[in-house]
């Protein structure tokens, strides 16, 4: 049970720039004297004077302060004025999730009333949350809720100027959002007083998207990597030391591996080319992941996993693509976009897959709300006795059509080519031909999807006659194949014909001979044809395309990493 005393005065959010959405006492808890004493054992006492600045925005590796007497205010400075974000008094503490990652501070911490604080550096804070489960619960929850509140109110160190009609603006918004970074947004098309700002920073409308970082640095149409560099996402991460395990990809599989490996004492570095969460991060609601009976958004799941990995000391490099695996000798090394090279005793490949998607304008709106990339029992239940569309001419499309025809009223198979003979197995073509519930529509493609919260109507075009038909169909299965994130591996590990990585028992004697497998033992489960290199989740041949299986594989691989490290 959580033991916190209630604060006699509400110190938090006076001068309120935002209204607290819920649970102020969880976001700004007041610790009991016994809890403060336990923290004091990890840090040292420091006298504070009114007006003294303890943390400036942009400071790195900021300390954690627990106020014992006096008071501290959290403000967001800007050129025109200052916004008071929170006030802390005795028993309360400063900080939010940046303190775990070592990223630069977003806000200023200034003394409002003379007194005394306990100061802990980041390493001691990490040791505290890793060893004291009661304090860990209180501190981690407060950090996460504070970050959520900062995001909700755009209280950070970045202003994005852009237009919702500009794809670059949408990319930057997505990158900041999926990395959980708070920002305020000014829309060129809607905000009347934007001209002043444009003049002050000499920005032309053609420059958008423009990012103003800490009121100083102006980035015009920046890449994700430039944004990550400017906001210090990867600062303080030593990229030269040899890691016990380097994990490539921070989707569910990579993050699970990071949490288990770091919590079991391994020195872990994760490389992610975009943002934590992978495919799951783009899902509006995951309803079949164990422990979340009302569902959880992919973004929330990814955010929690990312924070959990950092709590245990895993380091995550953002917006850096792994470009090459140096596999000729040990230690292996992963080379990245910016010519950095990270050496590793073992490697977990968790680069997932991306689905080939037809270019239909509002497709993302209907993903998981009528558009699916897999046809399992769960999806089949959703479209029982309804009409469905299956797009694709390969075996996965054929299998999906035959399977769905068992429960659906009618299955329309749409293919762009003139038939299936070149791309689908004969037995499936025969089953499709013989099944009266399946209609094959060749030289046909989807040109429109309509609906509000769920897909309701599909328009497709017959490319021979150019005629367009609209049908009230609520379920579309895009079975046009997934592309695994393995192009950069360049022959280091054995792949199956579609490019997915072979592991463990899937590796034949021929595969091992071709790879010059050097050990007396056979590869462990999830181990590739290169000893000490593992593959987990959607990038692995025979994967299950589920968050739970990706998470499971990430955690299983860590137990074999231990075995390899002790070999
Ligand atoms: C819209 C949508 C909804 C879904 N809904 C559900 C659901 O409800 N339930 C369910 O169980 N499953 C669902 N899935 C499937 C599930 O999300 C995936 O099975 C799961 O995310 C696979 O996890 P992964 O970590 O193996 O790979 P991914 O999620 O694909 O993550 C791979 C990560 O690796 C990174 N990466 C790739 N290449 C490199 C490189 N060279 N260097 C560095 N990083 C790299 C990528 O940026 C990505 O972040 C859904 C998928 C989608 C697309």
Mean pLDDT by 10 residues, the chain (567 residues): 34 36 80 97 97 94 96 87 91 95 93 98 95 96 94 90 82 91 89 81 87 90 95 87 97 98 97 94 82 90 95 95 96 91 97 90 86 82 92 89 94 95 89 96 96 93 95 95 93 95 97 96 97 98 93 98 96
Q: Closest residue (by CA) to atom 11 of ligand 1? A: 546
Determine the straight-line distance between the first and last CA of the chain, rounded to whole angstroms.
Answer: 42
Please identify, by atom number, the ligand 1 atom nearest to the C-alpha of residue 355: 53
Q: What separation in angstroms does the CA of 86 have from each of 55, 73, 433?
A: 14, 6, 68
pTM: 0.85
Query: In whole angstroms, what is the distance from residue 422 CA to residue 430 CA?
Result: 14
Residues 6+ apart with CB under 8 A from 10: 24
- Residue by residue, DSSP assigns 179-240 as TT---EEEETTT-TTHHHHHHHTT--GGG-SEEEETTTEEEES--HHHHHHHTTTTTT--SS
Which residue has a Cα nearest atom 1 of ligand 1? 283
Q: Which residues does 324 contact at the CB level (< 8 Å), separation at least 6?
A: 334, 335, 488, 490
**Contact assessment for residue 353 and residue 484, using Cβ atoms and an 8 Å cutoff:** yes
CA dist., res. 104 & res. 239, Å (int): 18
Please give the pLDDT value at position 7.
Answer: 35
Q: Which residue has the tokens 């290199």?
A: 533
Q: Of ligand 1's atoms, which has the minimum distance to the CA of residue 252? A: 25
- Ligand 1 atom with the smallest distance to the CA of 276 is 49
Cα–Cα distance between 230 and 80 in angstroms, integer?
Answer: 23
**335, 326 contact by CB (below 8 A):** yes
Residue nearest to atom 8 of ligand 1 (CA): 286
Pairing status of strand 64-77 against strand 44-48: unpaired
Ligand 1 centroid to Cα of residue 444, in Å, is: 29
Which mutation among 251, 366, 490 tests ligand 1's pocket best, with the greatest number of atoms within 8 A of CB? 251
Q: What is the pLDDT of residue 2?
A: 36
pLDDT of residue 195: 82
How is residue 235 written in tokens?
């600062």
pLDDT of residue 457: 97
Distances from the Cα of 490 to the Cα of 250, 325, 485, 510, angstroms:
21, 8, 12, 19
Q: How many CB atoms lie within 10 A of CB 194?
A: 16
Confidence (pLDDT) at 267: 97
255: left (phi over 0), alpha (psi -120 to 50) or beta: alpha
**Residues with a CB atom less than 6 Å from ligand 1:** 248-254, 271-274, 278-280, 282-283, 286, 288, 321-322, 350-353, 367-368, 373, 485, 488, 537-538, 545-548, 550
DSSP structure class, residue 282: G
Q: Which of 224, 485, 543, 545 to mutate to test the pocket of ligand 1 (most atoms within 8 A of CB)?
A: 485
Choose which residue among 225, 248, 280 to substitute to test ligand 1 binding: the one with the highest number of ligand atoms within 8 A of its C-beta. Answer: 280
Which residue's C-alpha comes closest to atom 39 of ligand 1?
A: 351
Alpha carbon of 278 to ligand 1 centroid (Å) = 4
Nearest-atom number in ligand 1 for the CA of 287 is 8
Distance 306 CA to ligand 1 centre (A): 14
Cβ(110)–Cβ(82) below 8 Å: no
**What is the predicted pLDDT for the residue at 310?**
94
If you take atom 41 of ligand 1, which residue's CA is the nearest one? 322
Nearest CA to ligand 1 atom 13: 546
pLDDT of 322 reads: 97
Task: State which of 278, 285, 322, 483 you would mutate to test the pocket of ligand 1, scoring each by most atoms of that ligand within 8 A of its C-beta.
Answer: 278
Residue 389 Cα, ligand 1 centroid: separation in angstroms?
A: 24
Look at residue 23 in the predicted model and tell me its pLDDT: 67
**Which residues are paired to 469 by β-bridges?**
460
């Amino acid at each position: 049970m959580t033991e916190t005393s209630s604060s006699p005065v509400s110190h938090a959010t006076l001068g309120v720039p935002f209204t607290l959405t819920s649970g102020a006492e969880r976001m700004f808890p007041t610790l009991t004297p016994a809890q403060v004493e336990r923290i004091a054992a990890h840090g040292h006492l420091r006298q504070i004077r009114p007006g003294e600045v303890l943390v400036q925005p942009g400071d790195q590796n900021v300390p954690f302060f627990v106020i014992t007497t006096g008071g501290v205010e959290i403000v967001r400075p800007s050129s025109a004025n200052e916004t008071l974000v929170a006030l802390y008094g005795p028993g309360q503490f400063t900080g939010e999730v940046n303190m775990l990652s070592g990223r630069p501070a977003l806000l200023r911490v200034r003394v409002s009333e003379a007194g005394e604080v306990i100061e802990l550096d980041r390493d001691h804070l990490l040791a505290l949350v890793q060893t004291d489960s009661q304090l860990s619960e209180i501190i981690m929850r407060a950090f996460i809720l504070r970050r959520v509140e900062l995001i909700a109110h755009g209280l950070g160190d970045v202003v994005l100027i852009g237009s919702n009609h500009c794809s670059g603006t949408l990319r930057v918004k997505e990158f900041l959002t999926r990395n959980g970074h708070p920002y305020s947004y000014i829309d060129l098309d809607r905000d009347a007083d934007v001209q002043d700002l444009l003049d002050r920073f000499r920005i032309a409308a053609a420059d958008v998207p423009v990012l103003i970082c800490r009121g100083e640095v102006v980035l015009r149409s920046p890449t994700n990597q430039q944004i990550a560099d400017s906001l210090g996402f990867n600062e303080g991460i030593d990229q030269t030391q040899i890691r016990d395990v380097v994990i490539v990809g921070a989707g569910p599989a990579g993050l699970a591996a990071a949490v288990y490996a770091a919590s079991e004492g391994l020195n872990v570095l994760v490389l992610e080319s975009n943002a934590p969460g992978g495919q799951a991060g783009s899902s509006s609601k995951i309803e079949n992941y164990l422990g979340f009976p009302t569902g959880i958004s992919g973004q929330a799941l990814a955010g929690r996993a990312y924070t959990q990995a950092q709590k245990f000391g895993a380091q995550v490099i953002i917006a850096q693509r792994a470009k090459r695996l140096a596999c000729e000798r040990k230690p292996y090394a992963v080379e990245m976009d910016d010519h950095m090279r990270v050496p590793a005793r073992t490697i977990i490949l968790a680069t997932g897959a991306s689905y080939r998607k037809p270019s239909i304008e509002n497709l993302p709106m209907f993903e998981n709300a009528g558009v699916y990339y897999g046809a399992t029992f769960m999806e089949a239940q959703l479209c029982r006795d309804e009409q469905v569309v299956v797009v694709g001419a390969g075996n996965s499309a054929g299998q999906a059509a035959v399977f769905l025809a068992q429960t659906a009223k009618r299955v329309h198979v749409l293919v762009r080519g003139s038939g299936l003979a070149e791309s689908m197995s004969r037995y499936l073509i025969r089953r499709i031909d013989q099944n009266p519930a399946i209609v094959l529509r060749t030289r046909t493609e989807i040109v429109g999807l309509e609906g509000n919260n769920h897909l309701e109507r599909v328009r497709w075009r017959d490319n021979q006659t150019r005629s367009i038909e609209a049908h009230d169909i609520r379920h579309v299965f895009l079975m046009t194949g997934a592309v695994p994130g393995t192009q950069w591996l360049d022959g280091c590990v054995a792949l199956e014909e579609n490019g997915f990585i072979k592991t463990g028992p899937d590796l034949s004697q021929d595969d091992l001979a071709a790879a010059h497998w050097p050990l007396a033992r056979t590869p462990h489960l999830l181990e590739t044809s290169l000893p000490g290199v593992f593959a987990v989740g959607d990038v692995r041949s025979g994967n299950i395309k589920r968050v739970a299986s990706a998470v499971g594989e990430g955690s299983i691989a860590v137990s074999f990493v231990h075995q390899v490290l002790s070999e």
